[in-house]
Amino acid sequence: MELRVLQYFLAVAREQNISAAAQSLHLTQPTLSRQLRELEEELGKQLMLRGNRKITLTQEGMLLRKRAEEILELVDRAEREVMRSDDAVSGDIYIGTGETDGVRQIARAANRLQACYPGIRFHIVSGDAVDVCERLDKGLLDFGVLLGDIDKTKYHYMELPMKDTWGVLMRRDSPLAHRESVSPRDLWDKPLILSRQVDNKSGLYRWLRREPSELHTVATYNLIYNASLMVDEGMGYAFTLDKLVNTTGSNLCFRPLKPRLELGMYLVWKKSQIFSRAAELFLEGLDAQLTAGTEENGEM
């Protein structure tokens, strides 16, 4: 399977039309059709359903599209790293992270590094732990920022001093909004909106002192913005971390849990990871920053 043919396949998947894809690739339509037919023969699978006006991917085709995108992204990244001049430190650093105010420390270290090495660029990929670990394992990220428990046998890690505080996002006119904090009993009969990462082993269920089947969960989410819209529409109470939703001037408010429930934070990377010089400098700079206890405006 050649990289060139994967590029052809992705062009057709993107355009959903052989003629349009051939034009974008500067190929003749018969040449492109032949390349795709040979790819299907090589794999022994039908990748596309050819309609009169539109190409549709089969299940196998959708799988290949995802893998092809990952392969070409890695190839492009490898080419940039190998071809880069040794005269000055430059390059790309890829960091995956969930939604957390702790990213401020990452941004602070990134800003300082770029002040010394303007050729370094940072790429932040947002997602929950499932998304971050998947991309990290495939080599698409240099680092991941994970909250709570991590697999210390799988990753090298740096424990970060910041902690995130769990609480509940609710409407200001809700029955619990007048309280300074929320207890487990307050939520036993309320409609709940939970992160998709919360499972039976989650500390959140231990805090609630209830099994999942005993609670009224109305929705799940992976990014809090969409959950905040559900809360605003009156669907329920969303468990989330502090400082993620700016409630100033809105119909929403945040109340911390009591007893307090916090999550630790880790910067992780694969044990087999080979860092570029830019990534090494970032890690060294972040470590020095945290060791020195650097803070700005009292924020962490």
Amino acid 2: pLDDT: 85
CA angle 67, 274, 142 (to 5 degrees): 60
Residues 176/186, Cβ–Cβ less than 8 Å? yes
Question: 0.85 exceeded by the pTM?
Answer: no
Using CA atoms, how far apart are residues 185 and 197, in angstroms rounded to an integer?
22
Query: Are the C-beta atoms of 286 and 105 separated by less than 8 Å?
Result: yes
Report the alpha-carbon distance of residue 132 to residue 110 in Å, rounded. Answer: 19
276-288 exposure pattern, b = at least 16 Cβ within 10 A, e = fewer = bebbebbbebbee
Distance from C-alpha of 74 to C-alpha of 6, rounded to nearest angstrom: 13
Residue range 199-219: mean pLDDT, rounded: 84
| CA-CA-CA-CA dihedral for 131, 133, 135, 136, to nearest 10 | 160
- What is the per-residue pLDDT across 116-128, written as a single tens digit (0 to 9) for each? 999 999 999 988 8
Give how far Cα 243 sits from Cα of 98, 161, 248, 262, Å: 13, 17, 11, 13
Determine the residue type at 157. Answer: Y
Beta strands in the chain (DSSP E): 48-50, 55-57, 91-97, 120-126, 143-147, 155-171, 191-195, 216-221, 237-241, 252-256, 262-270
Contacts of the segment 53-56: beta carbons below 8 A, 24+ positions apart: 53/17, 54/16, 54/17, 55/12, 55/13, 55/15, 55/16, 55/17, 55/18, 56/16
pLDDT of the residue at 297: 41
Instruction: State yes or no: pLDDT of 158 exceeds 70.
Output: yes
**Given this model, what pLDDT does residue 85 score?**
54
Residue pLDDT, tens place only, 283-300: 999 999 888 874 444 443
Provide the percentage of residues in the chain whose pLDDT is more than 70.
93
Whether the CB-CB separation of 152 and 270 falls below 8 Å is answered with: no
Q: Quick one: tokens of 200? A: 């039976």
pLDDT higher than threshold 80 for residue 80: no
In angstroms, the CA 70 to CA 3 distance is: 12
Q: What is the mean pLDDT of residues 195-208?
A: 76
pLDDT per position as a tens digit, 7-66: 898 988 888 888 888 888 888 989 988 998 899 999 999 999 888 778 889 999 999 998
- Phi first, then psi, for residue 173 (nearest 5°) are -95, 10
Length of the chain: 300
The whole-angstrom separation of Cα 44 and Cα 35 is: 14
Written as one letter, the residue type at 182 is V
Better-predicted residue by pLDDT, 180 or 70: 180
| Average pLDDT, integer, range 201-224 | 87
In this predicted structure, the answer to whether residue 81 has a pLDDT above a threshold of 70 is: no
**What pLDDT is stored for residue 299 in this prediction?**
44
Is 70 exceeded by the pLDDT of residue 240? yes
Question: Can you read off the two tokens belonging to residue 126?
Answer: 């947002």
Tell me: pLDDT of 145 over 90.
yes
Which pLDDT value is given to residue 300? 39
> Rounded mean pLDDT of the chain?
87
